[in-house]
Amino acid sequence: MPCITPTPRLRWDIFCRVIDNFGDLGVCWRLACNLAGHGQTVRLWADDVSALAWMAPQGSPGVEVRAWTTPLDMSGITPGEVLVEAFGCEIDAEFIAEYAKSLNRHTQKCAWINLEYLSAEGYAAGCHGLPSPVMSGPARGLIKHFFYPGFTMDTGGLLREPDLIARQTRFDRQAWLTGLGVPWGGERLVSLFCYEPAGLSDLLDSLAHGVQPTRLLVTDGRASAAVRAELINKNRHQPHWNRGEALSISYLPPLSQTDFDHLLWACDVNFVRGEDSLVRALWAGKPLVWHIYPQHDSAHEVKLDAFLDWLQAPTSLRAFHRGWNGLERPAPSLQDAPFAPENWQDCATQARASLLQQADLSTRLLNFIAKIL
């Protein structure tokens, strides 16, 4: 596994705009903490930092959180040596102007990174690391570089803490569930972190009619709201839908990033959404189902197919994903694509093993910056 090229202790400014349920902030926080763990000094700017109160209540040494206000408060601020624009956000002109001045004063090369969204599509490898000259404004003459997270050696990799596997090995499932007040009696555990998936009703029916007892652990927010709404509808129109009580449901409080990892490790199957939770589910090494964020031009279908291709997902898992995400016409149903996680474990195990052979995103980013500077 590649080691980190010797890099001086640098000051980083990471900028993030919260767009969809704090997923972008979650990625940026993990990145900031990982970089700080490598001896870097990191300032994280976000336009809504409220979620960090439950996402990362303990904070992290070496990471300073700043509110990204409009106009930007530059009082006492000197830009760091490295700028990171996360997911297409644009840093304020006044900050960029100060950054350009600082580079001139210290005769330093520009280290400006455009951190892109995660994708298994071919363009991620093709565009990873490419320069993007700035042609106008206070940054004219500077060069940004695209940095694409990805699943292969020719991309930017995935976020992973150095001690992740050791912590996972030490994890005590029973103790963690007891601490949350989840009454687990050995039944199958399934986590649910989603938006409002097309296949939710069918999944609940499948679990209720299954031979194996299942406890569904539902995350706080949109997933809980979606399940509660579906249960109201079922109880009204099919009052005996869970007559055998094969399905039990536990609603969880907001979870810190650490406890979200614990949830994925505790469960036998994980339903996830967004970029951060998908990556964490891959590290968990359990069968997973991804509720991908829908895009108006159907670009999410291509993105999902590319991920499933990389995963080498069996036919049953591909079919289930299409039903879960509502990608079939007419109205999708999981009846023809049953919930069969016993057939999905092998690809999850192999994917995790393959990824563990690669350097993580922070290591690759530090090596990339070292080459620039």
Query: What b/e sequence results for 88-122 when a residue is b if at least 16 CB atoms lie within 10 Å of its CB, and e otherwise?
Result: ebebbeebbebbbeebeeeeeebbbbbbbebbbbe
Residue 283: half-sphere exposure toward Cβ, Cα within 13 Å: 25
d(CA 255, CA 220): 8
* Residue 78 phi, psi dihedral angles, 5° rounding: -115, 120
- Out of 81, 85, 205, 275, the active site residue is 275
- Give the residue from 204, 288, 202, 289 showing the smallest Cα distance to 247: 204
- Out of 24, 85, 116, 261, the active site residue is 24
d(CA 88, CA 186): 45
Intra-chain end-to-end CA distance of the chain, in Å: 23
207 close to 339: Cβ distance less than 8 angstroms: yes
- Give the residue from 146, 219, 183, 127 showing the smallest Cα distance to 365: 146
Hunting for tokens 């001896």 — which residue is that? 39
275 has catalytic annotation? yes
Catalytic residues: 24, 275
